[in-house]
Amino acid sequence: MRDSSIDLGRGLAILFVYFSHSILYHPINMLDMYPWCKFLHEIFGSFMMPIFFIISGYLFSKTHKSTGELYKGKTLRIFVPYLTTMAIIIGMKLVLPMEMSYNYAVGKGAYALIINVLLQGGDRWFVHTLFIIFLLLIPIRRLLKNKYFDMVLIAVLIVVYFLHFLPTTLAKVFYYMAFFVAGYTLDELYSKIRAWSLKYWWMIYLVAVLVNGVFIMYLEKFPFVYRFILPFTGTLAVMTLAFKLEKSIECNVVAQYIEYCGKYSLQFYLFSFCYPIIRTVIVSVMHITNPYVIVTSVFVLQLIAITIIVEITRRIKWLKIPCGY
């Protein structure tokens, strides 16, 4: 049985991802042009990706499948859709103008793009990173039931991250693995956190507003706080909102759509290749210059586009595995 609060949390997180994409890159770099864009990007960026790893770790703690079943399931559910999506994106990058992509491998040929996808995750690095984390942790998942082992592992992962000796891909894996393992430890605490969050929601929001918002530029000077504390304060605030939305989901259309986005968050993430095209049309073809109109238009139009794509692909039987349903 699905947990609505989890889907709502992932749905809120994917909306933050979409909004952050709406203020990024080509054909104009709004982060450099408008301070408010950079400020919002910093706020959402402080927690919007770690929350997915925390939730993934929590859900992983619930599984009772065998090692073989887990490897097969994660390969079909994550890696195959990743390869399918990246094949489409590589084709688009080879055909579309270079200025419509921010991937450094663009313009270096198909081989460079393929290597970038296989070794670094390309434009969908989250799925690539998550799959590697599963590959590494599935064999030792029983050890993760020991809370002391989890605490030591998280501490080691944090130390390794700050030593800066790993190549980029592994450094990213080890960094996000700390959040994944932290999520795994929430197995028995989740219901208590839910009750506590609903009771002290005002305090959680206040802390998140202050540390993830008002003082974020100052806290960037403290790497440990910025990299490992703010992701949790932001995640707790998002999940608190999810818990509150869950109570009204039966009569709240907005909450129902957010839950829908969370249910298909993998597809919303994989299929988000529309936004560079949408931004280019809005800025270069329609010549819209108002930043608020650009951000709002890109955000809304890409949500509409991906919702249509999800609704079509999830109904086609032979696309279920390639698209991760």
Query: Angle CA(40)–CA(154)–CA(56) in degrees, nearest 5?
Result: 60
Q: What is the pLDDT at residue 313?
A: 95
Question: Could you identify the residue written with the tokens 């994989």?
Answer: 270
- DSSP type of residue 43: H
Query: Angle CA(265)–CA(268)–CA(272) in degrees, nearest 5?
Result: 150
pLDDT band at 104 (very low <50, low <70, confident <90, very high): low
The residue-averaged pLDDT of 296-304 equals 91
Question: Could you identify the residue written with the tokens 């700050």?
Answer: 162
Q: What are phi and psi of 287, to 5 degrees?
A: 60, 40
Q: Which residues contact 322 (CB under 8 A, 6 or more apart)?
A: 80, 81, 84
Q: What is the pLDDT at residue 282?
A: 84
Q: Where are the domains of the chain?
A: 4-319
pTM for the predicted model, two decimal places: 0.93
* 255: Cα within 13 Å, side-chain hemisphere: 15
Q: What is the pLDDT at residue 26?
A: 57
Please count the other Cβ atoms lying within 10 Å of the Cβ belonging to residue 150: 17
- DSSP type of residue 286: S
Mean predicted lDDT score pLDDT of the chain: 89
